[in-house]
Amino acid sequence: MENTYYISNYCSIKNGKASLNGNSQITSSETEIPLVLKNIYKELDLNYRKFFKMDTLSKLSFLAAEMLLKTPTEAIEERDIAVVLSNNASSLDTDRKHQKSIADSTNYYPSPAVFVYTLPNICIGEICIRHRLYSENSFFIFDDFSGEHLFDYASSLISSKKSNEVLCGWVNVDEENYEAFMYLVSTEKSKIEHTTKEINRLYQEL
């Protein structure tokens, strides 16, 4: 008999709107991604200087995770939370910036600050540092959002006792297009059962 797990909370960031559990929390009138993310950062009343050094994918992932995990400013307790994220553009947005910096041999100036973000899983590292997460983590590249894969992987992590909770999601940035959808899977009973059908339904609400 398969174990039953639950989606305790979920959030999304898309088209200038940040929502938590289906309810709009922050709306930005800006259209450019950097300004949208900066507005959300301010509205969340954060004070995390490293945020401004991150690439766009990491900023988007960081803000979505912040909405779900809400790290307290005092005495952070270590939580056994695995992180499983996915997208279809990998780190392409940052890769383009890096390529541009090395394409012209007469103006060759690659930036280490850009190069360090030319792997998509770096965004997971930023989340783990912020929230002190030391459990399993993985980043997958798919053609399209795959609720089935996220369901299988998260369920396996909890059932095998590799983690108590799993932060799952889809965070994608490609030029001016961006979207983040994250949810927290737990053994604690809640209104939303952790199933592929429910995961896909929540994603389609974006």
- For residue 78, the model assigns a pLDDT of 67
Q: Which residues of the chain have pLDDT under 70?
A: 1, 71-78, 95, 98, 109, 112-115, 118
CB neighbours of 91 closer than 8 A, spacing ≥ 6? Answer: 55, 57, 117, 118, 119, 120, 122
What token pair was written down for 48? 């995390």
Residue 98: per-residue pLDDT: 64
In degrees rounded to 5, what are phi and psi of residue 15?
50, 40
Helix or strand holding residue 75 (H, E): none
Residue 119's alpha-carbon distances to 51, 58, 124, 138, 169, in angstroms, are: 17, 10, 10, 12, 17
Is 39 a domain residue?
A: yes
Tell me if 111 is assigned to some domain. no
Q: Give domain status of residue 55, yes or no.
A: yes
On whether residue 113 sits in a domain, the answer given is: no
The whole-angstrom separation of Cα 57 and Cα 126 is: 11
Q: Kindly state whether residue 16 falls inside one of the protein's structural domains.
A: yes
**Does a structural domain hold residue 31?**
yes
Structure confidence at residue 74 (pLDDT): 41
> How many independent structural domains does the chain possess?
1
Domain hosting 86: range is: 6-92+118-204
CATH classification at residue 58: 3.40.47.10
Domain-embedded: residue 199: yes
Q: Is residue 100 part of a domain?
A: no
